[in-house]
Amino acid sequence: MITPLRKRTLEGTLYKRDAKVEALLVKLEVLPRAELVARCQITDRNDPSYVSSECLIYFVRATRQDNSDEHFERLYKILLSRVMRALPNAETNEGEVVCISQTKSRIREVAFDRFTEALATDRQAYSEKLDYFEVRFDGAVANLRRDAQDTAWREENRSTTIEYDQETNEPSAEVEEAAGSFNPFENLEESDYRSRLDAAIDTLPPEQIRIIQMLREGFPIDSRDPDAVTIAKTLKKSEKTIRLHRDRALKVLRAALHGESE
């Protein structure tokens, strides 16, 4: 039985897959796993055996129920390759010279991180954020690409020189304030605020929850001291990746605590 989508439109109606997608899912669901993977590897959309990306992401998400890591990995790699092909190519050939666009590389990095993060969250528990990919995959990836493009352009056009604390390697308070960040831990003495904060944190993806919890406990993101316990070291992520996840989490927390639109 094909699992229905759960996300609703602003009018309150459930998202629905295209009828052709639903029909194809019914046919594909009874195939042996090896045959399903083989069909998903077909890249020619004109091939009669081609599996649409809407169907592919359905089966990637469905592996959460059968808990098969091997089957998930095979489908997951195929899905990621389709997403990456839809993102701008950072390399161009000028004669024998290969030129790499830093902006396009950043767009690919941000879009890839956001998509894999959404998949990781969905693998833990159903996430409605991925439902639109099953309705209109190309449109969802286009939205992902535009959001990543906005992020890359904002970063590229920053004119303020970032100054870091020599001991903690953290940006100065002035820089953090100019970037629009806020401290969600300022009013912890108020029980009502603390309850709302805890509830908001629980809605975050697991990795972002860990980052926010460590920030709350006073751990630095990075440090010039090789012996210091940092968030980047603990989670085995780059300092840039930790800050990216932190900023996304703070955006959600700000919206939940201050009633702003996410």
Q: Domain map of the chain by residue range?
A: 19-156, 173-258
3-state secondary structure of 217: coil
Alpha-carbon Rg for the chain, nearest whole angstrom, is 21
Tokens representing residue 214 in the block: 């460590």
pLDDT for 157 equals 65
pLDDT for 4 equals 92
- Give, in order, the Cα–Cα distances in Å from 75 to each of 57, 105, 112: 8, 24, 16
Long-range contacts of 246-250 (CB under 8 A, 24+ apart): 246/208, 246/211, 246/212, 246/215, 246/221, 247/181, 248/208, 249/204, 249/208, 249/209, 249/211, 249/212, 250/181, 250/182, 250/184
User: What string of pLDDT tens digits covers the 262 residues of the chain?
Assistant: 899 999 998 888 999 999 999 999 999 999 999 999 999 999 999 999 999 999 999 999 999 887 668 899 999 999 999 999 988 887 777 777 777 788 888 888 888 888 998 888 898 889 898 999 999 999 999 888 888 888 887 777 654 444 445 444 555 444 444 444 567 887 777 777 888 888 888 888 888 999 999 888 888 888 877 778 889 999 988 888 898 888 888 888 887 776 543 3
pLDDT for 173 equals 47
pLDDT for 206 equals 87
Q: Which residues pair with 8 in a beta bridge?
A: 14
pTM for this prediction: 0.59
Reported residue count of the chain is: 262
Q: Does domain 173-258 have CATH number 3.90.1150.10?
A: no
